[in-house]
Amino acid sequence: MTKKRLTYITLLLCIAAFICQSGCVYYNTFYNAKKAFNKAEKAREKNKYTSRTGGGQQYKIAIEKALKVIENNPNTKYYDDALYVVGVSYYYTRQYGKADRRFRELLANYTESPYVKESELYLAKTKLKLREQTQAMELFENIFNADYEKSFKAEAAMGLGRYYYENRNIADAQPYFYAVRDSLGDKIEKKIAQKYIADGYYALFKFDDAQSAYLQIIG
């Protein structure tokens, strides 16, 4: 083997080793981001129906790690995963403008991503936080009428119902709360929806209906 050929092979091996090492670094970075994100999500779910918040510090770690993947390795197969992790983490750390940007980026560029449905729901919720109610309602309406999982449709229905209720449009709010109570919601969501239904009847001075609805909450 000539010296020139040996040098060429050595160079190729060095390049291959560098590429492999770089790939491993970004995988490890994303792995750590996802690990922190999963811890944050677990803490949040644990406190979902309480006044307590959870996972804040882990969400911040997830943002830091996932941003390194996004900024330094845009061609990675984990890019849409990283976008979703960053978007959700921004949402739960109340950085709504940044969350909006990342969800829109994911939806525009990764239409086949497994995170599309979740991102549409989070984008709607983010729009509400940004007081962009018209866009939020359009997104919620699309989710509610689409062939989505019940949990997504329940959140969309609650978003729509609360919006109309808070704007004193009780008649338009009630059908969404009924949808959550009768078919879409989990046990706690059904109770929450029933409370809105009862309060709605009371606000409309339909006291007999309100009494019956309140009794269903404790019945």
CA distance 123 to 117: 10
Tell me the whole-structure pTM to 2 decimals. 0.80
Extents of the domains making up the chain:
1-131, 146-219
* Domains 1-131 and 146-219 in one fold: yes
pLDDT in tens, 35-70: 999 999 999 888 776 656 666 889 999 999 999 989
Average pLDDT over residues 29-36: 86
**Torsion sign over Cα 213, 151, 159, 170:** negative
pLDDT in tens, 71-87: 988 888 889 999 999 99
* Nearest one of 104, 154, 163, 173 to 131, comparing CA atoms: 163
| Largest distance between two CA atoms of the chain | 97
What is the helix, strand, coil percentage profile of the chain, to 5?
80, 0, 20
CB atoms within 10 A of CB 29: 21
CATH architecture of 1-131: Alpha Horseshoe (1.25)
Q: Would you state the pLDDT for residue 177?
A: 96
Fold assignment, 146-219: 1.25.40
CA distance 58 to 92: 11
- Confidence bin at 20 (pLDDT 50/70/90): very low
Using an 8 Å Cβ cutoff, are 178 and 197 in contact? Answer: yes
* Nearest one of 179, 135, 136 to 157, comparing CA atoms: 179
Q: Would you state the pLDDT for residue 160?
A: 94
